[in-house]
Structure 1
């Protein structure tokens, strides 16, 4: 089996990039842009988005995302494309995954414009599909990464700090899942074995998070972009995006997916649940207590959930937790990439132990 590393065609990051969308579109399209945008983002940045195209006399169709990356939403947009030859997704992770899926089914390029750095999804050749009610359904592998990923750090710095911290929670899994996949010699999301370059990016991602995460949090709490914010945006998006896809996912994301069957967790962001999944994976691997406690303390300072109580699961029964643990071990999920066999009972025990350790740390 070949070793494979993949990444987006272009990754562009800087202040004010939202106002350059028409220029970037014109480098790959000419008939019209089909823009899928979050409602809040449209209400906030309508002028920046639309004026870019109007000033360049470039045709576009703009549609508001309805909130769930499900097949119904994807096919609805596919049917409304008309003559548009590029999809542009602007907003959060589910908007971006919907845009990638629409471009895949339509066979046209896609430009991804995250308005937060809340997950590592933007750079990947993958879309996560949910049911209409918000439960994880399956991963949709795509033949290529996005043609462009455009990160406007001016916009990202003004988003609620919770989103940037959720991105840290998601990115924190990159290195730990990569090492598990490396030990298991797993097949990655890119369809091959792990390269040393991918592992190096995954490690750099973790190191940047631990070095600059709290400094970036302080800046975004004031709505400003500093070098630490720039570094965390890159780590959350590019380093984690290329790192996870070319190294692989394992227990942390599988546990996240299992938690989605519990309605109590639906109000939490993807990266918030992944952060708890990271702690569970460290317990599952029997990592040194010093390492587990370091990650718990870091997550806590970032405002990420580390206990059942913080995930809204304080009163949850063991039977319900076992349902989540069983879902995390589904055949179509990534628990199989762990370097040892894992059963639902193992996940239940890891979740309970992770909660207990977190609760014991002052």
Structure 2
């Protein structure tokens, strides 16, 4: 008799999500609920911004302040160094403070060391902080692997004043990452494929992905104006939640598909290494829309909106061109490698199909942008 296969739908989420203006000062009190000897991981720039209010909160909570620097991608070697620091200092909780790489490295180190971990983003630049996974890169910045953990962070803390003070490009990148969430989750739902936690998507995860999308279309442009004036507004609070919590829950429990696989493929092109995660993901989202034969109006609206947000939707903007056949072929091959999330699409996807779609977005976006009087694309990074 064949063994019975159990199909489960799972929702994964952090134990506690905290968001608000000035929230960094409460980090000590929040961490004191889950540990007594925290290790903080932050680069010098971030530490210069958060140290004063963070120390005040730690003193009030009676916690020691121990911080180590971080100045690399989330590589396997960087993770191992943090594990050593955890052991030598007898730490029982680790908090990654800053961007996606430091947070991913802290999560991976906390898991390996068998302690609790917290995510403290200083910008709403990606949906990684809430998840039970880390993205590991090579020292050169190319995608290497996903690492999955049996639990989500014990704490995710977002200070929206820090978000308002971060470079505008960080929020733009977060919007690009989050816009992909609904496009990928609905494809995964159609295929009833696996999610990032290894099970089938829940309706809740899919619904949260859609809510993230709706909030971004309503509030993204106003949130960017708040960042430009270094102010915290309801629009910025809404977009911070959409970029971080809703997109985080949506991608992890709703599923990834072509957009993030194409992002991973793009890391194989050295021209893209200076781009943010969300900038590369946005190219993946548009390519997925072309791959699935989305209505022309939906593609047009996406191009217009993302151009106004400041996200790339042409190869030119990410340092490539339709004539870069060898580079685009390498991207397409990497995006369709066995085990990649592109195989969550509700139809088979080949490297040839990805190559065709990637090559096509240049002409489509240029035509739409011209029709709406939007600027011609120029490279985001200069050689």
Query: TM-score, normalization: structure 1?
Result: 0.98
Provide the aligned length of Structure 1 versus Structure 2.
361
Q: In the TM superposition, what are the counterparts of 1:37-76 in structure 2 within 5 Å?
A: 37-76=42-81
Contact map agreement 1:249 1:337 (CA 8 A) in 2: yes
Q: In the alignment, which residue of structure 1 is the partner of 2:39? A: 34
- How far is 1:55 from its partner? 4.3
Structure 1 residue 156 and structure 2 residue 163: aligned? yes
Q: Go from structure 1 to structure 2 and tell me whether the alpha carbon gap of 1:186 and 1:315 turns closer, same or farther (over 3 Å shift).
A: closer
- How far is 1:218 from its partner? 1.1
- How far is 1:60 from its partner? 3.3
Q: In the TM superposition, what are the counterparts of 1:1-362 in structure 2 within 5 Å?
A: 1-30=7-36, 32-81=37-86, 82-314=89-321, 317-361=324-368, 362=370
**3-state SS of 1:140 partner:** strand
- How far is 1:6 from its partner? 1.1
Contact map agreement 1:174 1:243 (CA 8 A) in 2: yes
- How far is 1:190 from its partner? 1.7
Q: Deviations over 1:249-272 (max 9, x none)?
A: 000000000000000000100001
Q: Give the Cα separation in 2 of the matches to 1:282 and 1:315.
A: 18
Q: Any unmatched runs of 5+ in structure 2?
A: 1-6, 371-383
Q: Give the Cα separation in 2 of the matches to 1:292 and 1:332.
A: 27
- How far is 1:359 from its partner? 1.1
Contact map agreement 2:322 2:359 (CA 8 A) in 1: no
Q: Give the Cα separation in 2 of the matches to 1:152 and 1:104.
A: 25
Q: Give the Cα separation in 1 of the matches to 2:365 and 2:328.
A: 17
Q: Give the Cα separation in 2 of the matches to 1:141 and 1:307.
A: 32
Q: Give the Cα separation in 2 of the matches to 1:58 and 1:26.
A: 7
- How far is 1:175 from its partner? 0.5
**3-state SS of 2:40 partner:** strand
**3-state SS of 2:124 partner:** coil
Q: Give the Cα separation in 2 of the matches to 1:156 and 1:42.
A: 15
Q: Deviations over 1:141-196 (max 9, x none)?
A: 11111001000001111101111111010000111101111111111112211111
Q: Go from structure 1 to structure 2 and tell me whether the alpha carbon gap of 1:300 and 1:88 turns closer, same or farther (over 3 Å shift).
A: same
Q: Give the Cα separation in 2 of the matches to 1:248 and 1:269.
A: 21
Q: Give the Cα separation in 1 of the matches to 2:60 and 2:19.
A: 22
- How far is 1:197 from its partner? 1.0
Cα RMSD, aligned residues only: 1.1
Contact map agreement 1:66 1:73 (CA 8 A) in 2: no
Contact map agreement 1:10 1:147 (CA 8 A) in 2: yes
**3-state SS of 2:128 partner:** coil
Q: Give the Cα separation in 2 of the matches to 1:358 and 1:45.
A: 40
Q: Give the Cα separation in 2 of the matches to 1:21 and 1:198.
A: 28
Query: TM-score, normalization: structure 2?
Result: 0.92
